[in-house]
């Protein structure tokens, strides 16, 4: 057997192993919603036009209010780009963008709410009801956590 054939076999096996290695996914971005001594961190979901547009607006200041015993909502200064962004089936702990009204919503009671292409998943958060209530007490500063 030629000497080159002995060298090529292991090289091909090594290259095949490299081809099946999946690239590492980028670290998820975290956005902080802060009011007074309270903050709620949101881990931004998968890359899509709506999430990119939201992140491009930061930093910003919003006000939040209770809505329907299900969520805390705040209105953005402009509507976000939703082209190509998937709808969602929201769960408690989701930050969403409601397309018709142009608002963000911190869902905490999604019982009976199903899939909608008008509700775009922005990210997820872990916060108590008390922490969310404190976001209603004035200006909320929204920044990217470095």
Res 105: pLDDT: 98
**Arithmetic mean of pLDDT, 82-99:** 98
66 CB-side CA count, 13 A = 9
Q: Which residues of 32-43 are buried (b: 16+ CB within 10 A; e: fewer)?
A: bbbbeebbbebb
Q: How confident is the model at residue 7 (pLDDT cuts 50, 70, 90)?
A: low
Residues above pLDDT 90, as percent of the chain: 79
* pLDDT value, residue 57: 98
Average pLDDT over every residue of 105-113: 97
The CATH T-level fold of domain 30-145 is: Cyclophilin (2.40.100)
For the residues 16-20, what does the mean pLDDT come to? 48
**Residue 59: cis peptide before it, omega within 30 degrees of 0:** yes
pLDDT reported for residue 6: 52
């Amino acid at each position: 057997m030629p000497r080159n054939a002995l060298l090529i076999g292991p090289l091909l096996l090594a290259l095949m192993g490299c081809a099946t290695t999946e690239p590492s996914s980028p670290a998820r971005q975290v956005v902080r919603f802060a009011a007074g001594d309270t903050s709620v961190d949101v881990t931004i979901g998968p890359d899509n036009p709506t999430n990119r547009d939201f992140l491009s607006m930061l930093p910003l200041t919003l006000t939040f209010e209770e809505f329907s015993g299900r969520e805390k909502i705040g209105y953005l200064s402009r509507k976000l780009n939703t082209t190509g962004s998937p709808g969602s089936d929201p769960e408690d702990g989701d930050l969403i963008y409601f397309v018709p009204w142009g608002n963000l919503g911190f869902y905490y009671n999604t019982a009976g709410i199903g899939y909608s292409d008008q509700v775009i998943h922005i990210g997820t958060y872990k916060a108590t009801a008390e922490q969310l209530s404190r976001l209603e007490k004035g200006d909320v500063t929204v920044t990217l956590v470095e």
